[in-house]
Amino acid sequence: MQPQLATLNQPGGRLVHRFHGRDVNLVLGAAAEPVRFQMRIDGAPPRGSSGLDVDEHGAGTVSDERLYQLIRQDGRIVDRTVEIDAEHRHVAFE
């Protein structure tokens, strides 16, 4: 980990973050090949709160280095926890 950057160098890594806001956006990038990831919000799939880059089951793929919209919530904003599990190595979270 570095300020504003975390790099996953082995399979099976996880990012867990508490947040209070409508959206969760991260700059993600894969070193060589696309990297699939699975995310949850408060331990469950995002369903109706999935962002543009994640399906309702929480599955997504990092293919380019860019800003990914992971969560887009409606309704009241409360403290939540987002978890992102990367299936492969060499993915960077900014």
- The one-letter amino acid at 69: Q
For the stretch 45-79, pLDDT in tens is 999 999 999 999 999 999 899 999 999 999 899 99
* DSSP-derived 3-state class of residue 11: coil
Rounded mean pLDDT, 14-21: 90
In the chain, the domains with their CATH numbers are: 6-93 (2.60.120.260)
Give the pLDDT confidence score for residue 11 in this predicted structure: 67
Q: Is the pTM of this model over 0.95?
A: no
Task: Count other Cβ atoms within 10 Å, centred on residue 12.
Answer: 10
- What are φ and ψ of residue 70, in 5° steps? -95, -40
CA-CA distance, 53 to 58, in Å (whole number)?
9
